[in-house]
Amino acid sequence: MSELEKKLFDESWNHKNRDKIINQLKDKNYDVIVIGAGITGTGVAREAAMRGLKVAVVDMQDFAAGTSSRSSKLGHGGLRYLGYGEMDLVHESTTERNWMVAHIPHLIRPIPFLIPVLKGGKYKKRDIVSALKIYDFLGNKDTEFKIYKEHKWYKPEGVFELEPELLREGV
């Protein structure tokens, strides 16, 4: 372990420093104490700290040990909610996703998805085209954080160029 790694470990939140950390919580005054170190708690703590408040975070386990640890880590815009008519939720989700791409690119990056449209499949091409146009519109509506790229369409030959192992039948 390098000197820097040792220093970081010695000063970080770990089992070795538990008593020291608990004493700091007792001995210092905080503007905000956040209970829960999941995505919501750490987000609240970050926002408070960015506003100059002195913040402490406590959790019965560790950062992101609960639901957050089992997340897909996918910062999606809620495409499936279009099917339920949840336009406001899709708009909110895409706006938040776009904000994250703009402000914390070291934590989130776009990942391309390929959605093959199958002949005789559950979803018709016109339905998927319409849904993604609405999705792209909602992702850019009333926000300064625009979708980095709108969806594009490929003919079957282009799809097989991108994914040569995709089963060709029905595409």
**Percentage with pLDDT > 90 across the chain:** 29
Kindly state whether residue 7 falls inside one of the protein's structural domains: yes
Q: In angstroms, what CA-CA distances link 78 with 58, 90, 114, 159?
A: 30, 5, 16, 24
Containing 12, the helix (H) or strand (E) segment is: none
| Model pLDDT, residue 14 | 67
Can you tell me the distance from the alpha carbon of 30 to that of 37, in angstroms, rounded to the nearest whole number?
16
Can you tell me the distance from the alpha carbon of 42 to that of 57, in angstroms, rounded to the nearest whole number?
8
Would you state the structure tokens that stand for residue 75, as one six-digit string? 């910062």
Residues 18 and 41 in one domain: yes
The 10s digit of each residue's pLDDT in 109-165 is 878 888 888 888 888 889 999 999 999 999 888 888 777 677 888 888 998 998 888
Kindly state whether residue 40 falls inside one of the protein's structural domains: yes
Tell me how many domains the chain contains.
Answer: 2
Residues 52 and 84 in one domain: no
Residues 52 and 106 in one domain: no
Q: Name the residue among 141, 137, 163 with its Cα closest to residue 151.
A: 137
89 versus 168: which is more confidently predicted? 89
The 10s digit of each residue's pLDDT in 19-34 is 888 888 899 999 999 9
Stated pTM of the model: 0.59
Exposed / middle / buried, residue 167 (Cβ in 10 Å: 0-12, 13-18, 19+): exposed
Kindly state whether residue 170 falls inside one of the protein's structural domains: no
Tell me which residue range forms the domain holding 117. 79-162
The 10s digit of each residue's pLDDT in 35-52 is 998 889 999 999 999 999
Q: Give start and end residues of each alpha helix (H) in 51-150.
A: 87-103, 125-140
Residues 40 and 23 in one domain: yes
Instruction: Give the model's confidence band at 76: pLDDT under 50 very low, under 70 low, under 90 confident, else very high.
Output: confident
| Model pLDDT, residue 89 | 93
